Chains A and B, each alone.
Chain A
Amino acid sequence: MSINNLIGLAFLFFFILMLVAVYFLLEKRKGSILREIPAFYYLQRAIGLSVEDGKRIHLALGWGNLFEEPFSSGLIGLNILERLTRVALFSDKPPMATSGNGGLMLLSQDTIRHSYRSFGLAVPHQIYESQMIGVTPFSYAIATQPIIKDEKVSVDILLGHFNSELGLILDASERQNNLSIGGSENLTAQAIFYGISNFPLIGEEVYATGAYMGSNRMHKASIQVQDYFRWGIILFILMGIVLKVLGIL
């Protein structure tokens, strides 16, 4: 085993250990461990308002491939989809999930199905609720435009892998005066989100979505562990700088 693999494995092992430890520690801890992020406050409010108004929530899951790293932000989108479906279960207009990848579409269909079944409800035909709308980034972006325009969408949540084509989706959302909230692991997409969307999620904020949207304790534990590791990395970098300046490295 190479030294790089060994370091990687040790890192993962330590991460899991911390995750489990913090998970059990959180059981005893009272009060919130989360700092305030306006995007999540407005997201929760927007979900409630759209259900009351009989409007639809559009969740764009992007076009992340199952075998590549960008898929991780799509998984966060799926997590939100479960929450959205449960909230809007009895609404006239259930949330609509669009994706640019077959795998994401199947997983989103399964997530919706699971939400209905968990409440003992009959699963509806999900022809409109979960769609693959394009297989290339631009075809995906263009295909979201009629959905945003024609489906009485009031909130656009964009969580997944996007690139510069994101501008076209946010343009359509802006034209309809919709509330747009989103984030991605891609830096170009993050810059576009920051410039155009109402509430951008920058960097690791995307990965905190589950914890803020009332998911299980493991999400909160993972956020806590991410914070510890981030501080660890910052200290490690600072140590490296000091050692380099001193001429030791």
Chain B
Amino acid sequence: MKTKIYAPFSIAIAVLSAILVLLGYFFENGFLNQTRSLLLENAVILAAIALIMGVINMVRVHWMQLRERKGNTLYHLTFFFGLIITLLIGGWFGITNPTSYGLYDTIVIPVEASLMAVMAISLTYLLTKIINRRKDFFSAVFLISVLVGLLISAPFLGQEIPFLSAGNSVVKSLLHLISNGAMRGILIGVALGSIATGLRLILGADRPYGG
């Protein structure tokens, strides 16, 4: 296997930066706090550069697909039209100008809201398929929980169901108690997993930067 010459350097930089940021978080020390701020500021700049790289990648992909007549041509043209308009308006007026915000408020938000509506329908349809996909006890529990959750969260056909959706019903309180407990349990597992992932990075065991 080939090993890159600069791999140990990238590992050292990543591990050292992670340790300094972590120590700066716990200790109130002038040097550590300054170093932490400096590293985070530089990371923000790098993230912005990464976003520009991402946009360049999008342009390349759409351009190549347009040339190769791959996929729907209309999608690619819409992408270029949107990108050019956004760059022109953002570049001319500045990104904090109401016109630039208007572009976002009048196009992006309504489109995403309509997608949300489409998704609600497709989610309901797909959820019914769980009966065919997994015929087990937990799927039945999941489906019943969804139905009961829907019934207690809003009145059914304009009518509040007694013992379910009405005010502080016992069923409602009991279900909130169970669901909150379950959510916390899952989140404890997720938090431990996140800590372990972070520590593997700090110890240099995980190297997503290709080191």
Contact = CB atoms under 8 A, between A and B. Distances in A.
Given A102-B47, A118-B2, A127 B122 contact: no
Interface residues of A, number: 78
A15 B201 contact: no
B189 A203 contact: yes
B186 to A, nearest CB: 4
A107 B57 CA distance: 13
A113 interface: yes
Given A16-B203, A132-B58, 17 more contacts: A1-B26, A16-B199, A69-B194, A75-B206, A75-B208, A101-B50, A103-B50, A105-B54, A127-B57, A135-B55, A146-B71, A167-B122, A185-B190, A195-B123, A195-B142, A196-B130, A219-B200
B96 interface: no
Contacts of B142: 194-195
Contacts of A32: none
Nearest to B75: A146
Contact of A67 (B47, B118, B130, B193): B47
Interface in B95-141: 108, 111-112, 115-116, 118-119, 122-123, 126-127, 129-130, 133
Given A118-B1, A187-B186, A102 B196 contact: no
Interface of A: 1, 5, 8-9, 12, 15-16, 19, 65-67, 69, 72, 75-76, 78-79, 99, 101-103, 105-107, 110-111, 113-114, 117-120, 127-128, 130-133, 135-136, 138-139, 141-142, 146, 150, 164-165, 167-168, 170-171, 174, 185, 187, 190, 192, 194-196, 198, 202-204, 206-208, 210, 216, 218-219, 222-223, 225-226, 229-230, 233
Interface of B: 1-2, 4, 22, 25-28, 40, 43-44, 46-47, 49-55, 57-58, 60-61, 64, 70-72, 75, 108, 111-112, 115-116, 118-119, 122-123, 126-127, 129-130, 133, 142, 146, 183, 185-190, 192-201, 203, 205-206, 208-211
B50 A105 contact: yes
A203 B190 contact: yes
Closest 5 A/B residue pairs (Cβ): A207-B193, A102-B50, A132-B54, A102-B54, A204-B189
A9 B22 CA distance: 9
Contact of B126 (A117, A195, A202): A195
B115 A142 contact: yes
B29 to A, nearest CB: 10
B199 A102 contact: no
B202 to A, nearest CB: 8
A175 B204 CA distance: 41
Nearest to A222: B196
Nearest to A114: B210
A111 B199 contact: no
B130 A195 contact: yes
B58 A138 contact: no
A232 B162 CA distance: 41
A204 B203 CA distance: 20
Interface-central residue, B133, B187, B194, B198, by most chain A CB under 10 Å: B194
Nearest to A8: B26
Given A110-B209, A170-B126, A127 B64 contact: yes
Contacts of A75: 197, 201, 206, 208
A67 B42 CA distance: 12
Contacts of A65: 47
Contacts of B189: 203-204, 226, 230
A67 B46 CA distance: 11
Given A103-B50, A117-B2, A1 B196 contact: no
Contacts of A101: 50-51, 54
A93 to B, nearest CB: 14
22 contacts: A1-B28, A19-B196, A65-B47, A66-B47, A67-B40, A78-B208, A105-B57, A107-B208, A136-B112, A138-B112, A146-B71, A171-B123, A174-B129, A187-B187, A195-B130, A196-B129, A196-B130, A218-B205, A219-B200, A222-B199, A226-B196, A230-B188
